[in-house]
Amino acid sequence: MADSTGSAEAPEPAETRRSDGAAANSEIAAAFNDGPAFIPYLAVGDPSYEASKEYVEALARGGADIIELGLPFSEPIAEGPTIQGAIVRALEAGMTPNRYFEFVEDLAVDVPLVCMTYYNLIYQYSYDGDSEAQRASDASGGAASTGPAAFVARAAEAGISGLVVPDLPAEEADPLRAACDEHGLDLVFIVAPTTEGERLQSMMERVSGYVYVQARLGTTGTKSDVSDQTDRSLQRLSEWDVPKAVGFGISSGDQAERIVASGADGIIVGSALVDIVADGVDNDWSTEETAAKLESKAEELAKGATRGR
């Protein structure tokens, strides 16, 4: 597990800085230092707590530089059918925010972890146990026992390095950004093909860690072609000094190679991996079998990304 105290206290100076000067999480910055970053996503708890843990560890063995861990929400409006399916399986198996943080603490991986979830779970968050973060909060007046501050405190304590919240636009993000700054977490924003002008500027002022470049319009899901909207988006962001990671639709090593060759600093892959988990469920594969397939898919994608350099 990544050293959680490092992110909960004063972050070390990092190469990547937000334009307003706040330091980014040093572990995430470091993940982009040695060539293009491969950033896989899985929904935590899909199809069970134990199997999911094996799967995430397999991705780390397969060459993940950062892992996005989905915290399942009942109304995932940015997700296509594949990830919706994963979220339903995880919720049916009993995943909750507090269980999710236990999962993160249980993981035996040494890459930075980014929590991807929807704002209501952050807004409603209420810690149900005893923790350093909670005691510190209680000691300082206890204002943060619920909501964004409590969520981020608990995430930092569990070892999360950053957050992606697809239904939280930059305009509504100030409370969460303040909490992230306090705990040294990065807040990653998604730039869509439709994002231009002032909105782009407003995101540039608030983003840290990396920017999630949405390769095409629509919801998450694999596509055989990766849109030329990607090239245009990367072009628009060329002035930004945060790393640019491209997601939405990447499913093969060749696609990963192409995306990196066109200027991306990293690739984000979710649905193509969740498809393997779903196939495992449908075909009754053993946990080991599914984990092995995930590891080899991760290797293919990581190698593809490296070739594109």
Partner 1 sequence: MSTDHATETEETATGAGGDGKFGDYGGQYVPEALMPAIQELRDAYERYVVNNEDGFMDEFRRRLADFGGRPTPLQRADRLSERYDCDVYLKREDLLHGGAHKLNNALGQVLLAKYMGKDRIIAETGAGQHGTATAMAAAHLDMPCTIYMGERDINRQRPNVFRMKLNGSDVKPVTAGRGTLKEAISETMRDWAASVETTHYVIGSIVGPHPFPVMVRDFHAVISEEIRSQSRDQIGALPDAVVACAGGGSNTMGAFAHFVDDEDVDLVAVEAGGSSLSVDEEEGVAPNSASLSTGDEGVLHGARTKLLQDSSGQIMESHSISSGLDYAGVGPELAHLVDEGRVTPVAVDDDAALEGFHRLSNTEGIIPALETAHAFGYLEEYQDDLSGTVVVNVSGRGDKDLQAAIEETEARDVPNAPDMSMFSGGI
Could you list the active site residues? 68, 79
Binding to partner 1 by residue 298, rule CB under 8 A?
no
**Bridge partners of residue 205, in order along the sequence:** none
Q: What is the DSSP letter of 308?
A: T
Binding mask 278-297 for partner 1 (x = CB under 8 A): --------------------
Which of 248, 243, 262, 249 minimizes the C-alpha distance to 305?
262
Binding to partner 1 by residue 153, rule CB under 8 A?
no
Could you give the count of Cα atoms lying within 13 Å of 86 in the half-sphere of its Cβ? Answer: 31
Binding to partner 1 by residue 229, rule CB under 8 A?
no
Please provide the distance, in angstroms rounded to a whole number, between the alpha carbons at the two ends of the chain: 29
Closest separation in Å from C-beta 64 to partner 1: 24
* Rounded Cα gap, residues 173 and 186, in angstroms: 12
- Annotate 273-306 with b (16+ C-beta within 10 A) or e (fewer): bbbbbbebbeeebebeebbbbbbebbbbbbbbbb
Phi, psi of 153 (to 5 degrees): -60, -45
| CA 91 from centre of chain | 19
Q: Which is nearer to partner 1, 105 or 172 (CB)?
A: 172
**In this chain, which of 13, 15, 102, 194 binds partner 1, going by CB under 8 A?**
194
Closest separation in Å from C-beta 274 to partner 1: 16
Binding mask 74-103 for partner 1 (x = CB under 8 A): xxxxxxx---x---x--x----xxx-----
Binding to partner 1 by residue 143, rule CB under 8 A?
yes
Evaluated on CA atoms 218, 166, 226, 249, the torsion sign reads negative
Binding to partner 1 by residue 190, rule CB under 8 A?
yes
Which of 6, 31, 1, 2 minimizes the C-alpha distance to 16?
31
**In this chain, which of 56, 64, 144, 156 binds partner 1, going by CB under 8 A?**
144
Closest separation in Å from C-beta 116 to partner 1: 12
Binding to partner 1 by residue 193, rule CB under 8 A?
yes
The SS3 of residue 43 is strand
Binding to partner 1 by residue 219, rule CB under 8 A?
yes
User: Is there a contact between 281 and 289 (Cβ–Cβ < 8 Å)?
Assistant: no
Closest separation in Å from C-beta 175 to partner 1: 4
Q: Which is nearer to partner 1, 75 or 279 (CB)?
A: 75
Binding to partner 1 by residue 131, rule CB under 8 A?
no
**In this chain, which of 105, 172, 279, 288 binds partner 1, going by CB under 8 A?**
172
Closest separation in Å from C-beta 278 to partner 1: 15
Q: What is the DSSP code string of 202-225?
A: HHHHH--S-EEEE-SSSSS---SS
Judged by CB under 8 A, the stretch of 23-31, 44-52, 187-195, 300-308 that binds partner 1 is 187-195
Residues near partner 1, by CB under 8 A: 73-80, 84, 88, 91, 96-98, 118-126, 143-150, 166-169, 171-172, 174-175, 178-179, 189-196, 199, 203, 214, 217-219
